[in-house]
Amino acid sequence: MEASKLPCSFAPFPPSTLISRNRTKCHHSLSPGFWNYKDFIVQRLSLIYPSHFPSRNPKMQLIRNSSASVQPLTEDHHIEEKHEEGPTSGNSIRRRFLEFYAAKGHKILPSSSLVPDDPTVLLTIAGMLQFKPIFLGKVPRQVACATTSQKCIRTNDIENVGRTSRHHTFFEMLGNFSFGDYFKKEAIKWAWELSTIEYGLPSENLWISVYEDDEETYGIWHDEIGVPANRIKKMGEEDNFWTSGSTGPCGPCSEIYYDFHTERGFSNADLNDDTRFIEFYNLVFMQFNKKEDGSLEPLKQKNIDTGMGLERMARILQKVPNNYETDLIFPIIEKAAELASISYALTDDSSRTKLKVIGDHMRAIVYLLSDGVFPSNIGRGYIVRRLIRRAVRTGRLLGIKGDESGNLEGAFLPIIAEKVIDLSTEIDPDVKTRKTRILEELKREELRFIVTLERGEKLLDEMLDNALEYATLHKTTACLSGKDAFLLYDTYGFPVEITMEEADERGVSVNMSDFDVEMENQRRQSQAAHNTVKLTVENGSDLTQNVPDTEFIGYDTLYSNAVIKGILFGGKPVIEVPEGSEVEVLLDRTPFYAESGGQVGDRGLIKVNGGKTGITAVVEISDVQKSLGNIFVHKGTIKEGSVAVGGEVVAEVDAKLRQRAKVHHTATHLLQAALKKVIGQETSQAGSLVAFERLRFDFNFHRQLLDHELMKVEDLINEWIGDATPLQTEVMRIADAKKAGAIAMFGEKYGEEVRVVNVPGVSMELCGGTHVSNTSEIRGFKIISEQGISSGVRRIEAVAGDAFIEYVSDRDNYMKQLCSTLKVKAEEVPMRVSSLLEELRTTKNEVSAARAKTAVYKASVIANNAFHVGTSTKIRVLVEFMDDTDADSLKTAAEHLLDVLEDPAAIILGSSPGEDKVSLVAAFSPTVVTMGMQAGKFIGPIAKMCGGGGGGRPNFAQAGGRKPESLSSALEKARTDIVKVLSEKVNNCRHDKAKGYGVVFDA
C-alpha cells in the first residue's frame, strides 16, 4: 500500500509525529481507547513498513552540556538513557551524528553563539565559523579533528521561508572537521557509512555531485565506495568549488543528495530539481590557497569542512513532505494553528505557508534573544526585530489576536515561544534558564509593534489618498509606487499582498516592478552582509611560525625580564626600529595584561637592557592587544634609542593604572551580583568596559531602574567592600566551574580549563581579568549614570577606588562653588534652585504673553493687506513677513487673522526669529479645506526653499528652516502658488455648478 493512500491514522510519520498530527486532523472523532489502538497499529505497520515506522532504540544516550547540545564523551560523564524517542527523532539524529564521529576520534565541541567573534559576519551562518582562525593558521589547533552541532542563522532567502520545503532562517548544521588530519578518502568513506549504515538510507536513493576537474574525488566515490557512474554528477565551479573570497583558502566540494523519486530514472536527472532531490551533506576539501592573480597553490595543511542540515535529514528519515513537518518544527506550527483556531492538515495552502513562517521565525527569534541579540534598528538587532514583526503580521493575517487568556490587546508570540523553549533542551539548554527574559522581551516588542502597525495602516491610507489625488490632477490611473509599497513592507511589516488588496479596494494599482527592484536590492545587500565567511591567508600566519605564544605572568608580578621575539612597524615584521617610531613589540613573556573580557590593556614601559651599558632604549607602551591566537602585541612609541629583535628587555607595568583596572574589574563583578539581588536573577551581562577612569556595565533589563533601586545596588556593593572579603582565584575544569555555580562573562570563549574568581558569598565568575586581593581595596563605589542603549539593554557607568575619590572630590568642589554663587548652605541648594526655576517660568510666561499680544497687534495692522483671488470677493488671501516673531506668536497671529478675515480665507506667514532660523505658518479656513487645499502639503515645499521642512493638519501647519536669506523668495513663491491653485479651484467649482453637480461654495 502506498504511503499517499494510507488513511489518516496510518500516515507515514514516526510515532511521535503521527500522534501530534492526528490530534490536529482527527480530534473530533477520537475515542478513549484510540491511543492504545493506534500504538498497536503503529507497531504492526513497523513490521510492514520499517522505513516509515522504525522500531524504538531503548539505548539512545543523551549527553548534555550547559552551553551546547552535546559535549565530549569521557569516562567521567554521566550517561542518561532516553527511552521515549525513536531513532528518527531530531534529537536522536543529532546525537547519532556526534557519537558516530566521536567514535572516529573526533572531539565533540559545543555550538558557538549566534553572535560570532568574527567581525566580517553579522551572525553565525555556518558550522565552520568558530574554526576560521584554525583554517587560517592564525591559531594552533587544539585537536586534530572535531564535530559539532552548530546553531545557524541566515536571512538572505527570507522570502522563500515557508514557500519551499527547505528554506529556513534558523537551522542546525551538523559538521565534522579535520585540521590537517584526515582528508578526502576518510571524509567520503565516513559520510557514506553514516548515511547508509548509521542512518540506513538506501544507497540507490543517494546521488553524488563532484567538481568537474576533481578526478580524485570522482575515483573515490566510484571505484572505492561503489557509487554507479550514472548517479555521480560532475558540476562546475559555481556549484562545486568552494571559495572564501577573491583570495584565500579554497577547494573542490562534493555533495550527497537524496532522491525522493527513483522511479524517474537517470535520464536528464537535475540535482537542482527541488521536487525530486535534496542536498543534505556537503563535503568541502580545503586544499588550495587562491592568490591575487587567481592561481591556486596547495595549502601546507589540508582541511576538511563538512555540513549536514539536521532539518533536511530529519525530513528524509521521518518521511515527511518538507522540513517543517518534522518533530523539530511541527510542534511549534501546531501551537500557532491552535491559536488561530485552524487545522494545519485541513487548511488551505496559503494558511499552511503562514504557519510555516511562524514556525521557522519563532525558532530564530528565541535563539537570537537567548544569545543576547535584542530588537533594534541596526545590525543584528534589526534582524531579530524584522523577524518578530514578520511573525506578528503573519499571525494577525491568520486571525491570531491577543493571548490565550482572552485579552485581545495581549501578545501571542510569547505563547508560541514557550513551545520553542520546550524543544530547546538538546539544542541549547541555556535557553530554558533565560526563559523569563525571552518571553518578556517578546511581549514588549510585539505590543510595541502593534502601535507601529497601526501607524503603518494610517500611512497606507495617506499614500492611497495621495495616489488618487495625483491621478485626478493629472488625469492618469492611480498607482502606488514600488518604493512606497516596499517602505510599508520593510519598515511597517506589511506583506505586499495586503498592500495590494487594500489598494485594490480603493481602486489603486501597485507598481510591482519597482517593488521587486527594491526587494532584490535588499536581498543582495543581505547576502553580502550575512552569507559570506571571508577567509584570507595573511602575512600574520607566517609570523606565527616564528613567534611562540606569549607567557602571561601578570597575575603574580608587574615586572619581568623578557626577550623581543618580533617587531611590527606599519603592520609588517621588521628587525630593528629607530627612536620616535610607533611599534608593536612581541615578547616571549610579559606582565602586561592584554585587552580582553572588557578590561583594557595595561600601560607601562619596556626597557632594553644593554648589559654593562645599562638601559639603551625605552618603549612607552600605551596599549596591549591579543593577536594571532595568544600572542600579546605591545603597542607603543620608542622614546629613547632603537629596538631590535632578540634584544633582552625589562617589562614594567604602570602599577597605579593596573590597580585602578583591578578595582574596577572586581567592582564590575560586585555590580552584577548586586543587580541580580535587587532586580532579579534573570538579568544578565550584555557587555562591559573596565578602564582606568571608570567602569561600564551593560545588562539585559526591560526598564529604567528606579532611584531607590540604584541606591540599593550602591549600598549593597559598598557593604561588601566594607566586609573586607579576601578574593579566591582558582583554575579548574569548566564543567566543575559551572557545576559550582560560576557565571560566564559575556562574549568570552573558554577552554576546558578556566580561571574562577570568587568573592565568597557574593560572586563567582569565570574570568581571566586582574582583580584585587581583598574587597576593601575598592574603597568606595558610586553609580554616575544609568540609561538605555537599545531595546531591552541598559547601561550603568560607575567609579570605584581612586576614581571614586576623585569623583566625590570633584562633586564636592562643584557644590561649594554653587553654594557660594547662590549664597546658601549645601542642604538649601535644592530649594533655592526650585525657587529660581519657578521665577524663570513665571518670567518666560509673561514674555510669551507680551510677544503674543505684539503679534496680534502686528496681525491686525497687516490684515488690511489681504487680497482677493480672481473675480471672487469671498476668498481672502494674506501672505506676509512678520519680522522676528517667534514660532508660537506666529501661530497666535495666524489664528487671529483667520477670525478677522473670516471664512473663506488662506493665510501664509513667515518670520526670522533668530540667526539661521525661519518660522512659517499656513492657516486655511474650513471652506478652503473643503475645496481640497491642505495646509500641511502646501507649506512643505515652501519650507524646503528655506532649508527646512514641516507639516501639519489640512487646516493648519507649521514649518521651519535654517536660511533666512531665502525667506523673501519663499514667501513670493507661496503667494504665486496660492493664487494659482485657488484660482483653479474656483474655476472647477464654477464648472461643476454649471453642470449641476452642486456647489462647494458660491464662487
Give the contacts of 61 (CB within 8 A, at least 6 positions apart): 79, 80, 81, 82, 95, 99
771 marked as binding residue: yes
DSSP helix, strand, coil percent of the chain (3-state; round to 5): 45, 25, 35
Give the contacts of 743 (CB within 8 A, at least 6 positions apart): 672, 685, 763, 764, 765, 766
Cell numbers of 418, please?
A: 514557550
| DSSP element (H, E) containing 135 | helix 132-136
Asked if 286 and 299 count as a contact pair (C-beta separation under 8 A), the reply is: yes
665 marked as binding residue: yes
Task: Classify 699 as helix, strand or coil.
Answer: strand
Query: What phi and psi values does residue 993 have, to the nearest 5 degrees?
Result: -65, -40
Sheet holding 949-952, edge to edge: 867-868, 876-881, 905-914, 917-924, 956-961, 949-952
CA 150 – CA 792 distance, rounded (Å): 26
CA 304 – CA 812 distance, rounded (Å): 64
Cα first-last separation, the chain? 84
Cis peptide leading into 904, omega within 30 of 0?
A: yes
Question: What are the helix (H) ranges across 321-348?
Answer: 330-340
Q: For residue 241, how many other CB atoms are within 10 A of its CB?
A: 19
Transcribe 937-957 into DSSP letters: HHHHHHHHHTT-EEEE-SSEE
27 marked as binding residue: no
Give the contacts of 803 (CB within 8 A, at least 6 positions apart): 660, 663, 664, 692, 693, 694
669 marked as binding residue: yes
Transcribe 720-738 into DSSP letters: HHHTTPBPEEEEEEHHHHH
CA 172 – CA 106 distance, rounded (Å): 19
- Give CB contacts under 8 A, 24+ apart, made by 946-949: 946/918, 946/920, 946/970, 947/918, 948/918
* Bridge partners for 242 per DSSP: 251
Q: What is the DSSP letter of 268?
A: T
* Bridge partners for 569 per DSSP: 572
CA 908 – CA 933 distance, rounded (Å): 13
Question: What are the helix (H) ranges across 237-295?
Answer: 237-240
Q: How distant, in Å, are the alpha carbons of 192, 229, 456, 600 from that of 226? A: 10, 9, 60, 58
| DSSP element (H, E) containing 624 | strand 615-627
Task: Classify 293 as helix, strand or coil.
Answer: coil
Residue 863's closest CA among 909, 824, 831?
909
Residue 296: what residue type? L
* Bridge partners for 698 per DSSP: 687, 795
Burial of 830 (0-12, 13-18, 19+ CB in 10 A): exposed
Residue 169's closest CA among 530, 492, 441?
530
How many degrees, rounded to 5, is the angle at CA 356 between CA 376 and CA 28? 130
Give the contacts of 943 (CB within 8 A, at least 6 positions apart): 918, 920, 949, 950, 959, 960, 961, 970
Binding region for Zn(2+): 665, 669, 767, 771
Binding region: 665, 669, 767, 771
